[in-house]
Amino acid sequence: MTVSKTAEKSSEKPADAAKGRKDTGEPQAEALQLGELSEQLGYVLKRAQLKVFENFLRCMASLQLTPAQFSVLLLVEKNPGRNQTEIASTLGILRPNFVAMLDNLESRDLCARIRSTNDRRSHILVLTDKGKAVLARAKKLVATKHEARLNDLLGPANRESLIEMLSKIANEF
């Protein structure tokens, strides 16, 4: 049981040992200067992404869904009857790596592979009833506990603006 304990301690937040501590009077070494790093797109982007994923996992702890798994369920629900290759490639997942992922979801009875009658090579993907139910609960958790945090932090207008800019980067950079 070392893993679960590890997840809570998390990896010591960067610049935390240096920045955000109350001065207790000890002769602590001065904090490091981030310098130009705090203006680097990649740096701040990666940092933000880690924080968001971390928060996502906490919010979904009761359902045991990772961001990747959630995205698969969302996509399968929106596009029922597609095969593994289509779902995987749309998410940027390579087919070999998608196999274990589906094995997991299927073993938990969240989705199912069905041999296509048209093309007996391919597996059609469908959400099970349990999968639909879990996804519905997941959506609510994400909306109320996760995405809501963004509104609290940035406000609705900025939130929309942020998503839009990130989409633009993801598609046109």
Provide the binding-site residues for DNA, judged by CB under 7 A.
Answer: 2-3, 5-7, 9-11, 66, 68, 83-85, 92-99, 102, 113, 118-123
CB 93, CB 125: distance < 8 Å: no
1 binds, among DNA, its own copies, none (CB under 5 to 8 A by kind): none
Measure the N-to-C terminal CA separation of the chain; round to a whole number of Å. 42
Burial of 71 (0-12, 13-18, 19+ CB in 10 A): middle
Indicate which single residue of 25, 35, 96, 156 sits in contact with its own copies (rule: CB under 8 A): 35
Closest by CA position to 74, among listed 16, 21, 142: 142
Cα dist from 49 to 8, 129, 166, whole Å = 18, 31, 11
CB nearer to DNA: pick between 107 and 118: 118
Nearer to its own copies, 62 or 97 (CB): 97
Chain residues 128-157 in contact with its own copies, contact rule CB under 8 A: 139, 142, 146-147, 149-150, 153-154
**Exposed, middle or buried by CB within 10 Å (0-12, 13-18, 19+), for 78?**
exposed
The residues binding its own copies (CB under 8 A) are 11-15, 17-18, 29, 32-53, 55-56, 67, 70-71, 74-75, 77-79, 82, 86-87, 89-92, 94, 139, 142, 146-147, 149-150, 153-154, 158, 161-163, 165-170, 172-173
